[in-house]
Amino acid sequence: MATDPALGLSAGEAIRRLAEQGPNVLPGEQGRRWRDIARETLREPMFALLIAAGTLYLVLGDVREGAVMFAMVVLVLALTLYQEGRTENALAALRRLSAPTAQVLRDGVQHRIAGRDVVQGDILVLHEGDRIAADAVLVSGTELQVDESLLTGESVPVSKTPSVGTPYAPPPRPGGDGLAQLYCGTLCIRGHGIARVNATGARSEMGRIGSALGTLRLEVSPLKKQTARLVQVLASMGLLASAILVVILGLSNGNWMAALLAGIALTMSLLPEEFSVVLAVLPALGAWRLSRQQVLTRRIAAIETLGATSVLCADKTGTLTENRMTAAALYVPLASDTLGQTLALDHSAPVSLPEAFHALVEYAILASEAAPQDPMEQAFHHLGKRFLQGSPHLHRDWKLVREYGLTPGLRAMSHVWRANPDAANLRTEPHCVAAKGSPEAIVDLCHLDANARGEVERAVQTMAARGLRVLGVARAHFLGAEWPAQAHDFAFQFVGLVGLADPLRPEIPAAMAQCHSAGIRVIMITGDFPATAQAIARAAHIDGSHDADILNGDRLGTQSDHQLQQRLQTARICARISPDQKLRIVQALKANGEIVAMTGDGVNDAPALKAAHVGIAMGGRGTDVAREAASLVLLDDNFASIVRAVRLGRRIFDNLRKSMSYILAMHVPIAGAALLPALLGWPAMLFPLHIAFLELVIDPACSMVFENEPSEADVMRRPPRDPKAPLFGGTTLALALVQGFGMLLAVIGAYAWSMQWLDEPGARTFAFTTLVMGNMALIHSNRSQTASLWDCLRVPNRTPWLVTAATLSLLGLVVYQPYLAGLFYFAPLQAVHALGASALGFSGALWFEAIKGVSRRANNAPQA
């Protein structure tokens, strides 16, 4: 039985059908399973080396060593599965947040539900910018146009015509004008309508062709490419050095198996396989943290760019303001005078509305939707309920018969109403036409003379100077059944102006101050008048709210690209901007070398969002088209959330740099300890088992300790970083190497010194303890690039302490538990020797601490 379009399904029936039909999801909309993660992990070179070492021990007849090596494989695999599991859980959470939603009728009430909960028979309520959640048949609609390029490859949108009469049979293929069939995944780009769902999930057209939408993929970012090149270089060096070492040792002592084990140990020490772990875990968990800050990451690569943003273009309405409109002032012209009458509204006072303003409120409501979602239209309805309740000016029995929407050439919309819905002869029954839009568009529709136009402009400027958003209202009457092609063909009369107040969000001035201190230039973009924009900019503390800093969209069209680039070097306010002009603004800023973040919510904002380095769509009032084009989605539509996201983006990049610097620094002493004793003719210090032990420390340290590290104190007091600067360029690489070689000196010195008064197992234990304690010092020292080691120890982050405790416990076991000590070729250390090794290990980190101290003194030195 067909669902009633006015009521929709009942809640109980919807639940029953969902259980029967299954969720409305397409094939491929799930993450990796743990078996897939394990399979991919075992293909990593480090695991291949661990398995090779374990196999060699078994070939040599050392079953104990071989068993321990394979146990290490299991431990490292378990740790990797845990880390990858955290990443997949974060990505799954992001997928749930980014899943499309649908507006449906249930029990006669509109609900916004997850797209996966849509069932066959549901009634979809569609608006411009919505993504269609399932295959459906249009039962009613106005000027509905749909982009079906996802299925047909044709970029031109197709018009949809409601199905009437007999049961509808879907066409064999998508595409073509005048059809009633709508398809899952396609986009409404114009008009609105009501549709009945006839297929969901795998039964939809999209499901039948096996497409997968909504999956969040880790993109190959510039940072990942850069790091991959570094890993390739180090891996090549490691393989070459290992091959040379195997040949040298094999020729010198003839023990080729031992030489091969030493070569494997050296390869393991030089292979920074943790880089791939860090680049997967930190951005994914960072994206999850961003979602908790009300910012959904649709493209993980955007996090890398977020911290480098130099220009932030923000919408005024709803982003800087609360998007909670109230009518604050009304203006109507007087019949006997060119001067009009203005009324300031006080909604808290129990006063009546003068009769002269009743028509203005009446036609403002008629030019709005009957059940409005737009805050401006809601303000008009609220005004009518407050002042016109019970009066003949509220026409609840009139029928809407025609709509003329906003166009790029006319920023006004018109509604045609039939006063007598039951009239038999439409040619003799007059219709009422109500229009609202920008004041200049309404003035143009009404063909006002110069005097009247000037008076309206003065009233607009007066309201705009108060920070009000101003809309004009007009009316007309029409007789006949053949509608004009455009709204201009009606004989409109000017009714008046409405000034709407939209309060600034209280947190905006503080957020703006953070942007200024972080070197981020904020440009406010609005369709409002310059005077309105200027008043809001002043309240928001946007720098440069002078007339010279305002770019007027009315003049933008006359400027060349070069002129626009020059103008945008100083402009802080862009007023009277149409959505299609945003793309030019983004392109001009990019041509100036800026890293641009752009906010938007409409269908026409999509090109600008896609062109920006970081496109930020509004989650609350934004369209699905805008969200599809954006890298980030602002779930609460709040500018302060963008600033928090920038802070978090900088923190994520800082922690990536800290983690990867630590990895590089730690691999220097490990590689040196594996190579130098062999070249100097000393007993081997590190075997593959020792390096596997160190991997158990390095892996959680690089991916969990630094990921949890809070922001640096100066994170929002630095200029944006250069996105082209390499992660390991210049100073960063030098500092990592200084740390690594400092630790290597401490470890090799400890080994050389201890061999003079301890036997080989004791010296190996002493040097290994030095290396492990030095590793702990590197972890804590690298938690900040500026603060001292002592200050780092006091920063709240329990993860490094958990890693430290676990590491010391494992070290104690392998040194003092006889069976494990035998496996590691260790001997127990006396307390004084253990303390000495710990002191030597921490001394290896003093190089970096000294450099940080010099840097702090230089930064705090008084400027000449």
Among all residues, which ones are annotated catalytic? 315
- Joined together, the tokens standing for residue 441 give 């568009």
d(Cα 8, Cα 651) in Å, to the nearest integer?
Answer: 48
Report d(CA 528, CA 575) in Å as an integer: 6
Task: In whole angstroms, give the CA distance from residue 567 to residue 560.
Answer: 10
Q: Please answer whether residues 771 and 670 qualify as being in contact, where contact means their C-beta atoms are separated by less than 8 angstroms.
A: yes
d(CA 605, CA 526): 12
Asked if residues 181 and 204 have their Cβ atoms less than 8 Å apart, the reply is no
Please compute, for residue 383, the number of CA atoms within 13 A of its CA located in the half-sphere on the CB side: 32
Pairing relationship of beta strands 550-552 and 573-575 according to DSSP bridges: parallel
Euclidean distance between CA atoms 422 and 238, whole angstroms: 87
Distance CA 37, CA 185 (A): 29
Pick the closest to residue 45 from 334, 247, 346, 264 (CA basis). 264
Q: Which two tokens stand for residue 223?
A: 């940072």
Instruction: Give the phi and the psi of residue 784 in degrees, each rounded to 5.
Output: -145, 140
178: left (phi over 0), alpha (psi -120 to 50) or beta: left
Query: Which H helix or E strand runs over 675?
Result: helix 639-680
Token pair 């990867």: residue:
660
- Within 10 A of 453 (CB to CB), how many other CB atoms are there? 17
CA geometry: angle 382, 388, 394, nearest 5 deg = 90
Measured over the CA atoms of residue 817, residue 818, residue 823 and residue 825, the dihedral's sign is: positive
- Residue 341's Cα: distance from chain center in Å? 48
Between helix 688-700 and helix 760-781 the angle, nearest 10°, is 20
Dist CA 6 CA 196 (whole Å): 11
Q: How far apart are CA 770 and CA 608, in angstroms?
A: 56
* DSSP string of 463-529, one letter each residue: HHHTT-EEEEEEEEEEESSS--SSGGGS--EEEEEEEEE-PBPTTHHHHHHHHHHTTPEEEEE-SS-
User: Of 42, 41, 44, 46, nearest to 265 (Cα)?
Assistant: 46
Give the helix, strand, coil percentages of the chain, each rounded to 5: 50, 15, 30
Q: Which of 705, 642, 637 is nearest to 324 (CA)?
A: 637
In this structure, which amino acid lies at residue 261? L
Q: How far apart are the first and last CA of the chain?
A: 85
Q: Please state, in angstroms and as integers, the Cα–Cα distance from residue 280 to each residue in 45, 218, 347, following that order.
A: 17, 8, 54
What is the amino acid identity at position 271?
L
Q: Which of 689, 588, 725, 652 is closest to 262 using CA atoms? A: 689
